[in-house]
Structure formats: C-alpha cells, structure tokens
Amino acid sequence: MKNHLPTIKEIAKELNISISTVSRALHDHPSIGLRTKTRVQELAKKLEYEPNQTAIFFQQGKTFTIGVILPELSEAFFSSAISGIEDAAHKSNYTVLMGQSHDSVEKEKQLIDTMKKHRVDGLLISISKNTVNYEHFEALQRYKIPIVFFDRIPKIPNIHYVACNMVNGTVQAINFLFTKGHRIIGMINGPEKLPASKDRLDGYIQAMTKSRLKYDPAMVLNCNLSRESVSAATEKLLTGKRKPTAIVTFNDYVALDAVQQAQKMKLKINKDICFVSYANLPLSNYTAYPPMASVEQFPYLQGQKATETLIELLQQKSSEETDNVNATYYKIILESQLVVHNGK
C-alpha cells in the first residue's frame, strides 16, 4: 500500500531473484532464461514499473538531454527551428532543455551555466545578436559538452555549425528580378556589422557584377530595422537619381514597412516597384502586398540538421572513448531557396 513507485529491487524480492537478473531481464539480455524473463516482464507490467530515469542518468553519466539556446522564440524563424530540433531529438529519444537569451549576452552566459549544471549531453546554440566575446563557449570545451551552432554562428575556428547560404540566396533573388526585367535594383539591408547583412551584401555584389551591371553602392542602404529607418531608407532609394524598380529587403518586417512607405509615395506595388525579401514570417499571407518572392531559409530543416549532427557527435563520443583530437568539424551549409509567391 506504499504509494512510492516500484523499483527493480521490489520486483526482485517479489520473485525471489537477484536485482541484476531483473535488470537484465528487462533489457532482454541473452543470458537470462526465457522463463524468468517473461516472469519479470509480466510483473513489471502489472506493477506499472517504470525505470527511474534520474537514477539511470546518474549512473550512466548522461542525461539524454540536449540544451538549446536561442535568441527569441517569438521570431518565427526560431519557433520553426525549435520544432525541427524537437522532432529530431525525440526521434532519437533525447529531450530538449530550452532557453531564450533575448539577445542578451548576460542571459546567454547564465543559460550556458544552467545547462552545464544540468549536465546536458550537448548544446545547440544560435548566438545572441550582441555576443562578440566567445569565452563562455570555449569554457564548455573543458566540460566536453559538444556544441553545434546554427544560423547565428560565432566567428571562431574549430566549431561545428549548420547554417543557410544567404549569399547564394541573395544571388537567386536578384537573378529572379533580372528575369523579370529589372535592371536597377536596390537593397535595404540590416545593421552594417551583422554577419547576416554582410552575406546579403556579398550576394548582391556578386549577382550584379556577374551580370556585368556595375555595383552602385548608393543602391544599398543600411537600416537598424526600426520602422522609421526603413521608411527613411525606402524614401531615399525611391527619390534618388537612379530609381530602382525593385528592392531587396533584409527581412519580411522590413519589406512590409517599405511597402507602406512606397504606398504613401503613391507608387503601385508590383507595378512601379517590386519587393523581394527573406522568409522569416508566415505573415506575408496576411497582408495585401506580400513580397513577390522570398528567400526561404529552412529553419525547421536547420534545426533538424543541427540536432542530428549533435546526436551523431554524442554517439561517436561515447563509442570511441579515446579522446583523440581527431578534430573533424562539421560545417553544414544548406542552400537557401527562392520561393516565388504565387500570383494574387
């Protein structure tokens, strides 16, 4: 009548066999006779026995848990990514311990600490926008907790990561605009120091020069993503000497703000001026003038791949106990893909 959960010890006593026999029986160990095996398994089922995971975690020195640290769940990109992570993790019987840094370095450090304390087997990290110092990641090396970075990658050597090729995505986007006849193409990019901005710019330049159009720096403006700065940039582009007929925007929010500004200026969207963006949001469906096309970054897939990579690392770690510095670092680059929004 005791209300605590049953243990193998109890099963053992009940059946008058040893604890180890019970353990092995439950694991289908070959050296246990069929008879006892079934006896054990039946009693276990009857008692609704469930192994005490905390004991197992402890005993094995593993938690079958992977930590995930990302900036902001309310960004659609990351909420998709975490779905990919979750699904991949569950498939391999791992669980997910999650934390948001809210783009604060302090919070990021704190989270790493918590994760370390909880002895997660490995970590998946997309770094905060403001992280410039990477010691707190390096500290984890000592603890032998492998990390796979995704999407937002720190600039340090010898790391594993999964990311999406935004340079190429941008090239695709611009080539698409070429096929639609556009020749003067502007860009409203993000904050200048952001790696994401750099990729887009690189793509822009690459696409333009490859088509023997010269790269006009005046056609690329940075903004800080605020509504005002987007409006300002849009206005500046659309009233400049060379007027673009199409604009590539840093992300969908920027696109929406830019569209509004263009409308204010009495321009006809998709006629006088076209927009192409990067697909962070499902929101485009809900607005009157979504961008003509978007560069899909496959957040779900990125999360999934990152997780699979991490789990692979964990498995090879546990097999070859030789902590050799065999130093192969996974660098997985997914190709982005331009999605043309159908009609309307």
Partner DNA sequence: ATAATTAATGCAAACGTTTGACCAGTGTCC
Partner DNA sequence: GGACACTGGTCAAACGTTTGCATTAATTAT
Per CB under 8 A, residues contacting a copy of itself are 3, 5, 50-55, 57-58, 61, 63, 65, 73-74, 76, 79-80, 82-83, 86, 90, 95-100, 102, 110, 114, 116-119, 143-144, 227, 253, 256-257, 260, 263, 282-283, 285-288, 323
Q: Which of 226, 230, 222 is nearest to 262 (CA)?
A: 230
Angle at 39 between CA 38 and CA 41, to 5 degrees: 60
CB of 249 within 8 A of CB of 258?
yes
3-class DSSP state for residue 108?
Answer: helix
Q: Give the C-alpha separation, 80 to 125, whole Å.
A: 15
CA–CA distance from 149 to each of 44, 273, 289 (Å)? 42, 37, 34
Q: Which stretch binds DNA (CB under 7 A): 18-26, 80-88, 119-127, 258-266?
A: 18-26
Q: How far is the CB of 18 from DNA (least distance, A)?
A: 3
If the CB atoms of residues 172 and 297 are measured against a copy of itself, the closer one turns out to be: 297
* CB of 88 vs a copy of itself, minimal distance in Å: 13
Residue 51 interacts with DNA (CB under 7 A): yes or no? yes
Site for DNA in 251-270 (CB under 7 A): none
Q: Residue 24 binds which entry of DNA, a copy of itself, none, with Cβ cut-offs from 5 to 8 Å by kind? A: DNA
User: Distance from first CA to last CA of the chain, Å, rounded?
Assistant: 68
Task: Choose the contact partner of 287 out of DNA, a copy of itself, none; CB within 5 to 8 A by kind.
Answer: a copy of itself
* Among residues 19, 73, 98, 213, the one that binds DNA under rule CB under 7 A: 19
Q: How far is the CB of 325 from DNA (least distance, A)?
A: 23
Q: For residues 225 and 278, is the Cβ–Cβ distance under 8 A? A: no
Site mask, DNA, residues 65-94, x = CB under 7 A?
A: ------------------------------
C-beta of 188: minimal distance to DNA in Å? 53
Where would I find the H helices in 211-298? 227-238, 252-264
Selection from DNA, a copy of itself, none that 286 binds (CB < 5 to 8 A by kind) is: a copy of itself
Q: What is the C-alpha to C-alpha distance for residues 59 and 2, in angstroms, rounded to an integer?
A: 26
The token duo for 9 is 């010890």
Q: What are phi and psi of 77, to 5 degrees?
A: -55, -45
Cβ–Cβ < 8 Å for 162, 302 = yes
Residue type, 192: E
Closer CB to DNA, residue 44 or residue 221? 44
Site residues, DNA (CB under 7 A)? 4-5, 7-9, 16-21, 23-24, 26-27, 31-37, 49, 51-52, 55-56, 58-61
